[in-house]
Chain A
Amino acid sequence: MTWLTLDTWIVATSALVAIACVLPGCFLFLSRQSMMSHGISHAVLPGIVIGHLVTGEVDTPALFIGAILAGVACAVLTRFLQRLSGVEEGAALGISFTTLFALGLIMQRLFADNVHIEPNHILMGNLEVAVFSSISPESQLPETFIKAGIAALVNLFFVVIFFKELTISTFDPNHGDSVESRPRLMYYLLMTLSAVTCVVAFEAVGSILVVSMIILPPAIASFFTKNLKHLIILSVLFAVLGCGLGHVLSITTFGPLFAKAFQLNDYSSTNTAAGITVVLCIMLVIGIVQSKLIRKG
Protein backbone atom coordinates (compact mmCIF):
# COMPACT_ATOMS: atom_id res chain seq x y z
CA MET A 1 0.00 0.00 0.00
CA THR A 2 1.43 3.36 -1.00
CA TRP A 3 0.18 6.29 1.01
CA LEU A 4 0.32 9.67 -0.70
CA THR A 5 -0.42 13.17 0.53
CA LEU A 6 -3.58 12.83 -1.48
CA ASP A 7 -4.65 9.91 0.69
CA THR A 8 -4.21 12.03 3.78
CA TRP A 9 -6.38 14.76 2.26
CA ILE A 10 -9.03 12.23 1.32
CA VAL A 11 -9.18 10.83 4.85
CA ALA A 12 -9.05 14.26 6.49
CA THR A 13 -11.77 15.67 4.24
CA SER A 14 -14.06 12.67 4.64
CA ALA A 15 -13.54 12.76 8.41
CA LEU A 16 -14.66 16.41 8.52
CA VAL A 17 -17.66 15.62 6.34
CA ALA A 18 -18.50 12.74 8.65
CA ILE A 19 -18.24 14.91 11.77
CA ALA A 20 -20.48 17.52 10.18
CA CYS A 21 -23.01 14.81 9.31
CA VAL A 22 -22.96 13.03 12.65
CA LEU A 23 -23.73 16.05 14.84
CA PRO A 24 -27.22 16.77 13.50
CA GLY A 25 -27.42 13.06 12.69
CA CYS A 26 -27.49 12.04 16.35
CA PHE A 27 -30.62 14.10 16.97
CA LEU A 28 -32.29 12.98 13.74
CA PHE A 29 -31.58 9.40 14.74
CA LEU A 30 -32.93 9.85 18.26
CA SER A 31 -36.12 11.52 17.11
CA ARG A 32 -36.57 8.66 14.62
CA GLN A 33 -36.28 11.02 11.70
CA SER A 34 -33.16 9.56 10.13
CA MET A 35 -34.74 9.27 6.73
CA MET A 36 -35.41 12.99 6.71
CA SER A 37 -31.74 13.35 5.79
CA HIS A 38 -32.34 11.15 2.76
CA GLY A 39 -35.24 13.34 1.68
CA ILE A 40 -33.39 16.57 2.26
CA SER A 41 -30.30 15.37 0.43
CA HIS A 42 -32.38 14.76 -2.70
CA ALA A 43 -34.75 17.65 -2.38
CA VAL A 44 -31.94 20.20 -2.69
CA LEU A 45 -31.66 19.66 -6.46
CA PRO A 46 -34.36 22.14 -7.53
CA GLY A 47 -32.79 24.72 -5.22
CA ILE A 48 -29.43 24.26 -6.93
CA VAL A 49 -30.98 24.58 -10.39
CA ILE A 50 -33.00 27.68 -9.46
CA GLY A 51 -29.91 29.20 -7.87
CA HIS A 52 -28.11 28.64 -11.15
CA LEU A 53 -30.94 30.01 -13.26
CA VAL A 54 -31.14 33.19 -11.21
CA THR A 55 -27.42 33.93 -11.26
CA GLY A 56 -26.37 32.17 -14.47
CA GLU A 57 -23.33 30.78 -12.74
CA VAL A 58 -22.35 27.39 -11.38
CA ASP A 59 -20.00 28.31 -8.61
CA THR A 60 -21.80 30.86 -6.49
CA PRO A 61 -23.26 31.05 -3.00
CA ALA A 62 -26.70 31.38 -4.63
CA LEU A 63 -26.63 27.68 -5.44
CA PHE A 64 -25.79 26.92 -1.88
CA ILE A 65 -28.58 29.10 -0.50
CA GLY A 66 -31.06 27.69 -3.02
CA ALA A 67 -30.12 24.18 -1.99
CA ILE A 68 -30.62 24.92 1.71
CA LEU A 69 -34.00 26.55 1.09
CA ALA A 70 -35.12 23.56 -0.98
CA GLY A 71 -33.95 21.19 1.74
CA VAL A 72 -35.91 23.05 4.39
CA ALA A 73 -38.89 23.22 2.03
CA CYS A 74 -38.79 19.43 1.96
CA ALA A 75 -39.08 19.28 5.76
CA VAL A 76 -41.88 21.86 5.79
CA LEU A 77 -43.75 20.12 2.98
CA THR A 78 -43.47 16.77 4.76
CA ARG A 79 -45.02 18.15 7.95
CA PHE A 80 -47.69 19.93 5.96
CA LEU A 81 -48.64 16.78 4.00
CA GLN A 82 -48.75 14.79 7.19
CA ARG A 83 -51.08 17.27 8.87
CA LEU A 84 -53.24 17.78 5.83
CA SER A 85 -53.78 14.21 4.71
CA GLY A 86 -53.01 12.26 7.85
CA VAL A 87 -50.63 9.87 6.06
CA GLU A 88 -47.74 8.51 8.08
CA GLU A 89 -44.53 10.51 8.19
CA GLY A 90 -42.53 8.12 6.00
CA ALA A 91 -45.10 8.31 3.23
CA ALA A 92 -45.33 12.10 3.50
CA LEU A 93 -41.54 12.32 3.19
CA GLY A 94 -41.59 9.94 0.22
CA ILE A 95 -44.02 12.20 -1.57
CA SER A 96 -42.35 15.51 -0.79
CA PHE A 97 -38.74 14.66 -1.58
CA THR A 98 -39.40 12.69 -4.77
CA THR A 99 -41.60 15.52 -6.02
CA LEU A 100 -38.93 18.11 -5.33
CA PHE A 101 -36.20 15.93 -6.84
CA ALA A 102 -38.29 15.30 -9.97
CA LEU A 103 -38.99 19.02 -10.22
CA GLY A 104 -35.27 19.65 -10.03
CA LEU A 105 -34.52 17.07 -12.72
CA ILE A 106 -37.08 18.54 -15.11
CA MET A 107 -35.84 22.08 -14.57
CA GLN A 108 -32.28 20.99 -15.07
CA ARG A 109 -33.07 19.18 -18.32
CA LEU A 110 -35.14 22.10 -19.59
CA PHE A 111 -33.01 25.06 -18.64
CA ALA A 112 -29.60 23.99 -17.51
CA ASP A 113 -28.72 20.92 -19.56
CA ASN A 114 -25.56 22.49 -20.89
CA VAL A 115 -24.17 23.20 -17.46
CA HIS A 116 -22.34 20.81 -15.29
CA ILE A 117 -24.85 20.00 -12.60
CA GLU A 118 -24.78 16.26 -13.03
CA PRO A 119 -27.52 14.42 -11.12
CA ASN A 120 -25.17 11.47 -11.19
CA HIS A 121 -22.49 13.54 -9.55
CA ILE A 122 -24.92 14.66 -6.87
CA LEU A 123 -26.00 11.10 -6.18
CA MET A 124 -22.59 9.50 -6.06
CA GLY A 125 -20.12 12.27 -5.30
CA ASN A 126 -16.42 11.76 -5.76
CA LEU A 127 -14.05 12.30 -2.92
CA GLU A 128 -11.00 11.42 -5.01
CA VAL A 129 -11.79 14.15 -7.52
CA ALA A 130 -13.03 16.64 -4.97
CA VAL A 131 -9.72 16.86 -3.11
CA PHE A 132 -7.95 17.84 -6.33
CA SER A 133 -9.59 21.23 -6.55
CA SER A 134 -7.62 23.33 -4.11
CA ILE A 135 -8.54 26.79 -2.92
CA SER A 136 -5.68 28.41 -4.90
CA PRO A 137 -3.08 27.23 -7.42
CA GLU A 138 -0.21 27.59 -4.91
CA SER A 139 -1.93 25.77 -2.14
CA GLN A 140 -2.73 22.09 -1.76
CA LEU A 141 -5.59 22.78 0.60
CA PRO A 142 -8.71 21.26 -1.02
CA GLU A 143 -11.76 23.50 -1.17
CA THR A 144 -14.00 20.67 0.05
CA PHE A 145 -11.80 20.30 3.11
CA ILE A 146 -12.39 23.94 4.05
CA LYS A 147 -16.13 23.74 3.38
CA ALA A 148 -16.51 20.53 5.38
CA GLY A 149 -14.48 22.06 8.20
CA ILE A 150 -16.76 25.08 8.34
CA ALA A 151 -19.86 22.88 8.29
CA ALA A 152 -18.46 20.73 11.09
CA LEU A 153 -17.66 23.80 13.18
CA VAL A 154 -21.08 25.38 12.62
CA ASN A 155 -22.80 22.13 13.56
CA LEU A 156 -20.63 21.70 16.64
CA PHE A 157 -21.43 25.24 17.73
CA PHE A 158 -25.13 24.58 17.20
CA VAL A 159 -25.16 21.34 19.17
CA VAL A 160 -23.19 22.82 22.07
CA ILE A 161 -25.26 26.01 22.29
CA PHE A 162 -28.68 24.39 21.92
CA PHE A 163 -27.96 21.08 23.61
CA LYS A 164 -30.79 21.47 26.17
CA GLU A 165 -33.31 22.61 23.58
CA LEU A 166 -32.39 19.87 21.13
CA THR A 167 -32.69 17.23 23.83
CA ILE A 168 -36.12 18.39 24.97
CA SER A 169 -37.50 18.80 21.49
CA THR A 170 -36.31 15.41 20.27
CA PHE A 171 -37.34 13.57 23.45
CA ASP A 172 -40.72 15.17 24.13
CA PRO A 173 -41.67 18.11 21.88
CA ASN A 174 -45.04 18.57 23.61
CA HIS A 175 -43.31 19.08 26.91
CA GLY A 176 -40.89 21.40 25.15
CA ASP A 177 -43.82 23.47 24.05
CA SER A 178 -45.21 23.69 27.57
CA VAL A 179 -41.87 24.82 29.07
CA GLU A 180 -41.31 27.15 26.09
CA SER A 181 -38.09 25.64 24.78
CA ARG A 182 -39.27 26.34 21.22
CA PRO A 183 -39.33 22.78 19.88
CA ARG A 184 -40.65 23.83 16.49
CA LEU A 185 -37.90 26.37 15.92
CA MET A 186 -35.37 23.74 16.99
CA TYR A 187 -36.86 21.26 14.53
CA TYR A 188 -36.46 23.66 11.62
CA LEU A 189 -32.99 24.72 12.72
CA LEU A 190 -32.00 21.07 12.81
CA MET A 191 -33.45 20.60 9.33
CA THR A 192 -31.65 23.70 8.05
CA LEU A 193 -28.33 22.45 9.34
CA SER A 194 -29.00 19.02 7.90
CA ALA A 195 -29.60 20.68 4.54
CA VAL A 196 -26.38 22.71 4.82
CA THR A 197 -24.49 19.58 5.73
CA CYS A 198 -26.00 17.57 2.90
CA VAL A 199 -25.02 20.19 0.35
CA VAL A 200 -21.46 20.35 1.64
CA ALA A 201 -21.21 16.59 1.83
CA PHE A 202 -22.43 16.08 -1.73
CA GLU A 203 -19.20 16.93 -3.41
CA ALA A 204 -17.36 14.53 -1.20
CA VAL A 205 -19.57 11.54 -0.77
CA GLY A 206 -22.74 12.10 -2.77
CA SER A 207 -26.28 12.32 -1.51
CA ILE A 208 -26.83 8.62 -0.99
CA LEU A 209 -23.79 8.02 1.17
CA VAL A 210 -24.46 11.22 3.13
CA VAL A 211 -27.36 9.31 4.60
CA SER A 212 -25.12 6.51 5.79
CA MET A 213 -22.80 9.05 7.41
CA ILE A 214 -25.72 10.70 9.16
CA ILE A 215 -27.41 7.55 10.40
CA LEU A 216 -24.78 4.84 10.86
CA PRO A 217 -22.44 6.37 13.48
CA PRO A 218 -25.25 7.23 15.95
CA ALA A 219 -26.83 3.84 15.30
CA ILE A 220 -23.52 2.12 16.10
CA ALA A 221 -22.92 4.29 19.17
CA SER A 222 -26.40 3.55 20.52
CA PHE A 223 -25.28 -0.03 21.12
CA PHE A 224 -22.42 1.09 23.34
CA THR A 225 -23.86 3.82 25.56
CA LYS A 226 -27.03 4.99 27.29
CA ASN A 227 -25.80 8.55 27.78
CA LEU A 228 -26.58 11.25 25.25
CA LYS A 229 -23.28 13.13 25.49
CA HIS A 230 -21.32 9.90 25.24
CA LEU A 231 -23.46 8.89 22.29
CA ILE A 232 -22.52 12.04 20.41
CA ILE A 233 -18.81 11.74 21.22
CA LEU A 234 -18.72 8.05 20.34
CA SER A 235 -20.58 8.73 17.08
CA VAL A 236 -17.94 11.26 16.09
CA LEU A 237 -15.14 8.82 16.96
CA PHE A 238 -16.76 5.96 15.06
CA ALA A 239 -17.33 8.21 12.07
CA VAL A 240 -13.69 9.32 11.97
CA LEU A 241 -12.45 5.77 12.47
CA GLY A 242 -14.77 4.63 9.69
CA CYS A 243 -13.28 7.22 7.34
CA GLY A 244 -9.70 6.12 8.00
CA LEU A 245 -10.39 2.40 7.78
CA GLY A 246 -12.76 2.89 4.85
CA HIS A 247 -10.14 4.58 2.74
CA VAL A 248 -7.53 1.96 3.61
CA LEU A 249 -10.00 -0.74 2.67
CA SER A 250 -10.78 0.90 -0.63
CA ILE A 251 -7.17 1.38 -1.72
CA THR A 252 -5.94 -2.02 -0.51
CA THR A 253 -8.89 -4.22 -1.41
CA PHE A 254 -11.53 -2.62 -3.61
CA GLY A 255 -8.97 -0.82 -5.78
CA PRO A 256 -6.92 -3.89 -6.74
CA LEU A 257 -10.09 -5.95 -7.26
CA PHE A 258 -11.47 -3.26 -9.52
CA ALA A 259 -8.20 -2.99 -11.43
CA LYS A 260 -8.05 -6.74 -11.94
CA ALA A 261 -11.62 -6.89 -13.18
CA PHE A 262 -11.01 -4.20 -15.77
CA GLN A 263 -7.33 -4.95 -16.36
CA LEU A 264 -6.15 -1.51 -15.38
CA ASN A 265 -2.77 -0.62 -13.94
CA ASP A 266 -3.91 2.39 -12.03
CA TYR A 267 -6.39 1.57 -9.30
CA SER A 268 -6.26 4.63 -7.14
CA SER A 269 -9.66 5.93 -8.17
CA THR A 270 -12.08 3.67 -6.42
CA ASN A 271 -14.87 5.09 -4.37
CA THR A 272 -13.64 5.75 -0.85
CA ALA A 273 -17.11 6.80 0.30
CA ALA A 274 -18.36 3.30 -0.47
CA GLY A 275 -15.46 1.85 1.51
CA ILE A 276 -16.38 4.05 4.47
CA THR A 277 -19.97 2.87 4.36
CA VAL A 278 -18.88 -0.77 4.25
CA VAL A 279 -16.65 -0.25 7.29
CA LEU A 280 -19.46 1.54 9.16
CA CYS A 281 -21.81 -1.33 8.36
CA ILE A 282 -19.29 -3.83 9.73
CA MET A 283 -19.04 -1.71 12.89
CA LEU A 284 -22.82 -1.74 13.17
CA VAL A 285 -22.85 -5.53 12.98
CA ILE A 286 -20.21 -5.66 15.72
CA GLY A 287 -22.39 -3.35 17.80
CA ILE A 288 -25.47 -5.54 17.34
CA VAL A 289 -23.54 -8.72 18.16
CA GLN A 290 -21.96 -7.30 21.31
CA SER A 291 -25.29 -5.93 22.57
CA LYS A 292 -26.87 -9.37 22.08
CA LEU A 293 -23.95 -11.01 23.89
CA ILE A 294 -24.21 -8.60 26.81
CA ARG A 295 -27.95 -9.17 27.08
CA LYS A 296 -27.38 -12.94 27.16
CA GLY A 297 -24.40 -12.78 29.49
Chain B
Amino acid sequence: MKAPVLEANHMTVCYDKKPAVWEASMSVPAGCLAGIIGPNGAGKSTFLKAVLGIIPRTSGSVSFFGEPYKKVKQRVAYVPQRESVDWDYPISAREVVLMGLYKSIGLFRRKTKEHVLQAEEALDRVGMLDYAGRQIGELSGGQQQRVFLARALVQKADLYMMDEPFAGIDATTEKVILELMQELKQNGSTVLCVHHDLPTVADYFDHLSLLNLHVVASGPIDEVFTKEQLMKCYGGRLELLTKLTESLGRLEALKA
Protein backbone atom coordinates (compact mmCIF):
# COMPACT_ATOMS: atom_id res chain seq x y z
CA MET B 1 0.00 0.00 0.00
CA LYS B 2 1.13 3.50 -0.77
CA ALA B 3 2.26 5.54 2.21
CA PRO B 4 -0.06 8.43 3.08
CA VAL B 5 1.15 11.83 1.82
CA LEU B 6 1.01 13.19 5.34
CA GLU B 7 0.93 11.33 8.59
CA ALA B 8 0.99 13.02 11.99
CA ASN B 9 1.24 10.86 15.10
CA HIS B 10 0.26 12.25 18.49
CA MET B 11 1.64 15.66 17.69
CA THR B 12 1.55 18.28 20.44
CA VAL B 13 2.49 21.93 20.02
CA CYS B 14 2.73 24.39 22.87
CA TYR B 15 2.87 28.16 23.06
CA ASP B 16 4.16 29.29 26.43
CA LYS B 17 3.52 25.87 27.97
CA LYS B 18 -0.14 26.06 26.92
CA PRO B 19 -0.98 23.47 24.29
CA ALA B 20 -2.25 24.85 20.97
CA VAL B 21 -2.48 21.41 19.40
CA TRP B 22 -2.87 18.36 21.61
CA GLU B 23 -1.96 14.79 20.64
CA ALA B 24 -3.15 15.33 17.09
CA SER B 25 -3.04 12.36 14.74
CA MET B 26 -3.99 12.60 11.12
CA SER B 27 -3.41 10.63 7.97
CA VAL B 28 -4.02 12.16 4.57
CA PRO B 29 -4.22 9.65 1.69
CA ALA B 30 -2.72 10.45 -1.70
CA GLY B 31 -4.74 12.12 -4.42
CA CYS B 32 -7.45 13.72 -2.32
CA LEU B 33 -8.62 17.23 -1.61
CA ALA B 34 -8.36 17.37 2.15
CA GLY B 35 -9.75 20.05 4.40
CA ILE B 36 -8.98 20.91 8.00
CA ILE B 37 -11.76 22.78 9.74
CA GLY B 38 -12.47 23.82 13.29
CA PRO B 39 -13.51 26.84 15.34
CA ASN B 40 -11.38 29.97 15.65
CA GLY B 41 -8.27 29.44 17.70
CA ALA B 42 -8.56 25.66 17.37
CA GLY B 43 -4.94 25.39 16.20
CA LYS B 44 -5.51 24.79 12.48
CA SER B 45 -2.72 27.06 11.23
CA THR B 46 -0.53 25.94 14.09
CA PHE B 47 -1.05 22.34 13.01
CA LEU B 48 0.05 23.13 9.45
CA LYS B 49 3.09 25.12 10.56
CA ALA B 50 4.11 22.48 13.06
CA VAL B 51 4.04 19.59 10.61
CA LEU B 52 6.31 21.67 8.38
CA GLY B 53 8.61 22.48 11.28
CA ILE B 54 8.04 26.23 10.98
CA ILE B 55 7.15 26.18 14.65
CA PRO B 56 8.66 23.54 16.94
CA ARG B 57 6.70 20.48 17.99
CA THR B 58 6.70 19.53 21.65
CA SER B 59 6.15 15.85 20.95
CA GLY B 60 4.90 13.46 18.34
CA SER B 61 6.15 12.58 14.90
CA VAL B 62 5.34 13.60 11.35
CA SER B 63 6.12 11.98 8.04
CA PHE B 64 5.51 12.90 4.43
CA PHE B 65 5.25 10.08 1.88
CA GLY B 66 6.56 7.83 4.63
CA GLU B 67 9.75 9.91 4.98
CA PRO B 68 10.87 12.72 7.29
CA TYR B 69 10.08 16.20 5.90
CA LYS B 70 13.75 17.07 5.40
CA LYS B 71 14.15 14.32 2.81
CA VAL B 72 11.12 15.27 0.73
CA LYS B 73 10.96 19.06 1.00
CA GLN B 74 10.88 19.35 -2.77
CA ARG B 75 7.65 17.38 -2.95
CA VAL B 76 5.78 19.68 -0.58
CA ALA B 77 4.66 23.23 -1.42
CA TYR B 78 3.34 25.50 1.29
CA VAL B 79 1.01 28.43 0.68
CA PRO B 80 1.04 30.52 3.86
CA GLN B 81 -1.63 32.93 5.02
CA ARG B 82 -1.50 36.15 3.10
CA GLU B 83 -0.84 38.22 6.22
CA SER B 84 2.38 36.34 6.92
CA VAL B 85 4.51 38.52 4.63
CA ASP B 86 5.13 42.21 4.06
CA TRP B 87 3.36 43.17 0.84
CA ASP B 88 5.19 46.51 0.70
CA TYR B 89 8.35 44.57 -0.17
CA PRO B 90 9.67 46.08 -3.42
CA ILE B 91 9.28 43.11 -5.77
CA SER B 92 6.92 42.20 -8.58
CA ALA B 93 4.46 39.32 -8.81
CA ARG B 94 6.80 37.60 -11.28
CA GLU B 95 9.72 37.82 -8.88
CA VAL B 96 7.66 36.26 -6.08
CA VAL B 97 6.74 33.32 -8.33
CA LEU B 98 10.39 32.92 -9.35
CA MET B 99 11.19 32.30 -5.67
CA GLY B 100 9.34 28.99 -6.01
CA LEU B 101 11.90 27.99 -8.64
CA TYR B 102 14.83 28.61 -6.31
CA LYS B 103 15.98 25.01 -6.22
CA SER B 104 15.95 24.62 -10.00
CA ILE B 105 17.83 27.92 -10.49
CA GLY B 106 20.40 26.95 -7.86
CA LEU B 107 23.01 28.61 -5.70
CA PHE B 108 25.32 31.16 -7.41
CA ARG B 109 23.29 30.94 -10.63
CA ARG B 110 21.00 33.38 -12.31
CA LYS B 111 17.51 32.72 -13.57
CA THR B 112 17.21 31.87 -17.26
CA LYS B 113 14.52 32.67 -19.81
CA GLU B 114 13.18 29.19 -19.20
CA HIS B 115 12.58 30.01 -15.52
CA VAL B 116 10.83 33.26 -16.38
CA LEU B 117 8.62 31.40 -18.84
CA GLN B 118 7.72 28.83 -16.20
CA ALA B 119 6.84 31.57 -13.73
CA GLU B 120 4.71 33.36 -16.30
CA GLU B 121 2.95 30.15 -17.26
CA ALA B 122 2.02 29.64 -13.60
CA LEU B 123 0.80 33.24 -13.37
CA ASP B 124 -1.27 32.59 -16.47
CA ARG B 125 -2.86 29.52 -14.87
CA VAL B 126 -4.13 31.67 -12.00
CA GLY B 127 -5.18 34.47 -14.34
CA MET B 128 -2.47 36.87 -13.17
CA LEU B 129 -0.22 37.12 -16.23
CA ASP B 130 -1.34 40.69 -16.93
CA TYR B 131 -0.12 41.68 -13.47
CA ALA B 132 3.29 39.95 -13.66
CA GLY B 133 5.24 43.20 -13.51
CA ARG B 134 3.17 44.82 -10.77
CA GLN B 135 4.64 45.47 -7.36
CA ILE B 136 2.84 43.04 -5.06
CA GLY B 137 1.48 45.76 -2.78
CA GLU B 138 -0.59 47.14 -5.65
CA LEU B 139 -2.56 43.89 -5.96
CA SER B 140 -5.86 43.11 -4.25
CA GLY B 141 -6.07 40.47 -1.54
CA GLY B 142 -7.38 37.85 -3.93
CA GLN B 143 -4.71 38.64 -6.49
CA GLN B 144 -2.00 38.34 -3.83
CA GLN B 145 -3.40 34.94 -2.90
CA ARG B 146 -3.20 33.88 -6.55
CA VAL B 147 0.44 35.02 -6.74
CA PHE B 148 1.17 32.79 -3.75
CA LEU B 149 -0.61 29.92 -5.50
CA ALA B 150 1.45 30.46 -8.64
CA ARG B 151 4.61 30.38 -6.53
CA ALA B 152 3.50 26.99 -5.15
CA LEU B 153 2.55 25.73 -8.63
CA VAL B 154 6.04 26.21 -10.07
CA GLN B 155 7.38 23.97 -7.31
CA LYS B 156 5.58 21.09 -9.06
CA ALA B 157 4.94 19.43 -5.74
CA ASP B 158 3.02 16.28 -4.88
CA LEU B 159 1.44 17.86 -1.83
CA TYR B 160 0.13 21.43 -1.63
CA MET B 161 -0.52 22.74 1.86
CA MET B 162 -2.61 25.89 1.92
CA ASP B 163 -3.42 27.98 4.96
CA GLU B 164 -6.87 29.60 4.58
CA PRO B 165 -6.59 30.23 0.84
CA PHE B 166 -10.28 31.17 0.69
CA ALA B 167 -10.12 33.82 3.41
CA GLY B 168 -11.00 37.34 2.32
CA ILE B 169 -10.89 36.81 -1.44
CA ASP B 170 -13.10 37.76 -4.39
CA ALA B 171 -15.35 35.43 -6.41
CA THR B 172 -12.87 35.19 -9.31
CA THR B 173 -10.08 34.05 -7.03
CA GLU B 174 -12.34 31.51 -5.38
CA LYS B 175 -13.20 30.05 -8.77
CA VAL B 176 -9.55 29.98 -9.79
CA ILE B 177 -8.50 28.17 -6.63
CA LEU B 178 -11.29 25.60 -6.95
CA GLU B 179 -10.47 24.84 -10.58
CA LEU B 180 -6.84 24.58 -9.70
CA MET B 181 -7.51 22.15 -6.87
CA GLN B 182 -9.46 19.91 -9.23
CA GLU B 183 -6.68 20.10 -11.79
CA LEU B 184 -4.05 19.22 -9.22
CA LYS B 185 -6.10 16.27 -8.05
CA GLN B 186 -6.49 14.98 -11.58
CA ASN B 187 -2.73 15.15 -12.01
CA GLY B 188 -2.32 12.96 -8.96
CA SER B 189 -1.33 15.65 -6.47
CA THR B 190 -2.83 16.07 -3.04
CA VAL B 191 -4.15 19.32 -1.59
CA LEU B 192 -4.50 19.99 2.12
CA CYS B 193 -6.35 23.18 3.06
CA VAL B 194 -7.03 24.89 6.33
CA HIS B 195 -10.57 26.17 5.92
CA HIS B 196 -13.02 28.09 8.08
CA ASP B 197 -16.25 28.31 6.09
CA LEU B 198 -18.59 25.43 7.02
CA PRO B 199 -21.22 25.82 4.26
CA THR B 200 -18.68 25.29 1.47
CA VAL B 201 -16.88 22.30 2.99
CA ALA B 202 -18.89 19.62 1.22
CA ASP B 203 -18.39 21.30 -2.18
CA TYR B 204 -14.66 21.75 -1.87
CA PHE B 205 -13.25 18.66 -0.19
CA ASP B 206 -13.45 14.89 -0.32
CA HIS B 207 -11.44 14.26 2.84
CA LEU B 208 -11.94 16.14 6.08
CA SER B 209 -10.34 16.55 9.49
CA LEU B 210 -12.07 18.29 12.35
CA LEU B 211 -9.62 20.00 14.64
CA ASN B 212 -10.25 21.60 17.98
CA LEU B 213 -7.04 21.37 19.96
CA HIS B 214 -7.02 17.68 19.11
CA VAL B 215 -8.28 15.87 16.04
CA VAL B 216 -11.97 15.19 16.67
CA ALA B 217 -12.46 13.17 13.52
CA SER B 218 -10.59 12.55 10.27
CA GLY B 219 -11.55 10.61 7.18
CA PRO B 220 -13.67 10.63 4.01
CA ILE B 221 -16.01 13.61 3.91
CA ASP B 222 -19.30 11.65 4.21
CA GLU B 223 -18.07 9.94 7.36
CA VAL B 224 -16.75 13.04 9.05
CA PHE B 225 -18.99 15.86 7.90
CA THR B 226 -21.95 14.84 10.07
CA LYS B 227 -23.91 16.76 12.62
CA GLU B 228 -22.70 14.60 15.55
CA GLN B 229 -19.05 15.03 14.64
CA LEU B 230 -19.42 18.75 14.04
CA MET B 231 -21.18 19.12 17.39
CA LYS B 232 -18.25 17.39 19.02
CA CYS B 233 -15.82 19.79 17.36
CA TYR B 234 -17.69 23.06 17.61
CA GLY B 235 -19.67 22.36 20.78
CA GLY B 236 -22.43 24.83 21.53
CA ARG B 237 -21.07 27.22 18.98
CA LEU B 238 -22.37 25.08 16.15
CA GLU B 239 -25.99 25.75 17.09
CA LEU B 240 -25.24 29.44 16.89
CA LEU B 241 -23.51 28.99 13.55
CA THR B 242 -26.37 27.04 11.98
CA LYS B 243 -28.88 29.59 13.23
CA LEU B 244 -26.73 32.35 11.85
CA THR B 245 -26.41 30.74 8.41
CA GLU B 246 -30.12 30.02 8.37
CA SER B 247 -31.03 33.59 9.14
CA LEU B 248 -28.48 34.88 6.64
CA GLY B 249 -30.00 32.55 4.03
CA ARG B 250 -33.43 33.94 4.83
CA LEU B 251 -32.08 37.47 4.47
CA GLU B 252 -30.66 36.62 1.05
CA ALA B 253 -33.99 35.09 0.04
CA LEU B 254 -35.81 38.22 1.15
CA LYS B 255 -33.45 40.41 -0.87
CA ALA B 256 -34.06 38.31 -3.95
Answer yes or no: B31 CB below 8 A from chain A CBs: no
Contact of A178 among B16, B52, B108, B135 (CB under 8 A): B52
Q: A225-B90, A227-B90 are in contact. Are A167 and B99 (CB under 8 A)?
A: yes
Q: A30-B90, A86-B16, A228-B90 are in contact. Are A175 and B137 (CB under 8 A)?
A: no
Answer yes or no: A4 CB below 8 A from chain B CBs: no
Contact (Cβ within 8 A) A175 B151: yes
Contact (Cβ within 8 A) A178 B105: no
Contact (Cβ within 8 A) B85 A172: yes
The residue in chain A whose Cβ has the minimal distance to the Cβ of B52 is A178
A-side contacts of B78, CB under 8 Å: 174-175, 178
B-side contacts of A30, CB under 8 Å: 86, 89-90
The residue in chain B whose Cβ has the minimal distance to the Cβ of A181 is B102
Query: Which residues 174-222 in B have Cβ within 8 Å of A in the complex?
Result: none
Answer yes or no: B227 CB below 8 A from chain A CBs: no
Answer yes or no: B40 CB below 8 A from chain A CBs: no
Q: A86-B16, A161-B108 are in contact. Are A175 and B90 (CB under 8 A)?
A: no
B-side contacts of A227, CB under 8 Å: 90-92, 135
Contact (Cβ within 8 A) B90 A222: yes
Answer yes or no: B76 CB below 8 A from chain A CBs: yes
Q: Bits for B41-55, please: 1 = Cβ < 8 Å to A, else 0.
A: 000000001001110
Q: How large is the interface on B (under 10, 10 to 19, 20 to 34, 35 or more residues)?
A: 20 to 34
Bound Cα distance from A66 to B174, whole angstroms: 55
Answer yes or no: B84 CB below 8 A from chain A CBs: yes
B-side contacts of A174, CB under 8 Å: 49, 52, 54, 78, 80, 84
Instruction: For residue B150, give the distance in angstroms from its CB to the closest CB of chain A.
Output: 13
Contact (Cβ within 8 A) B89 A171: yes
Contact (Cβ within 8 A) B16 A177: no
Answer yes or no: B155 CB below 8 A from chain A CBs: yes
Q: A179-B73, A226-B138, A227-B135 are in contact. List 14 more A-B contacts (CB 8 A).
A: A30-B86, A165-B107, A167-B95, A168-B102, A171-B85, A171-B96, A171-B99, A172-B84, A175-B100, A178-B76, A179-B100, A179-B103, A227-B91, A228-B95
Q: How would you classify the secondary structure of chain B's contact residues: helix, strand, loop or mixed?
A: mixed
Contact (Cβ within 8 A) A172 B80: yes
Contact of A32 among B76, B84, B86 (CB under 8 A): B86
Query: Which residues 177-205 in A have Cβ within 8 Å of B in the complex?
Result: 177-181
Q: Bits for A221-239, please: 1 = Cβ < 8 Å to B, else 0.
A: 0100111101100000000
Chain B positions near chain A (C-beta within 8 angstroms): 15-16, 49, 52-54, 73-74, 76-78, 80, 84-86, 89-92, 95-96, 99-100, 102-103, 105, 107-108, 135, 137-138, 151, 155
Query: Which residues 76-103 in A have Cβ within 8 Å of B in the complex?
Result: 86
* 29 A-B contact pairs sorted by A residue (CB < 8 Å): A30-B89, A30-B90, A86-B15, A167-B99, A168-B102, A171-B85, A171-B86, A171-B89, A171-B91, A172-B85, A174-B54, A174-B78, A174-B84, A175-B80, A175-B99, A175-B151, A177-B54, A179-B100, A180-B73, A180-B102, A180-B103, A226-B137, A227-B90, A227-B91, A227-B135, A228-B89, A228-B90, A228-B91, A231-B90
Q: How would you classify the secondary structure of chain A's contact residues: helix, strand, loop or mixed?
A: helix
Instruction: For residue A22, give the distance in angstroms from its CB to the closest CB of chain B.
Output: 15
Contact (Cβ within 8 A) A226 B90: yes
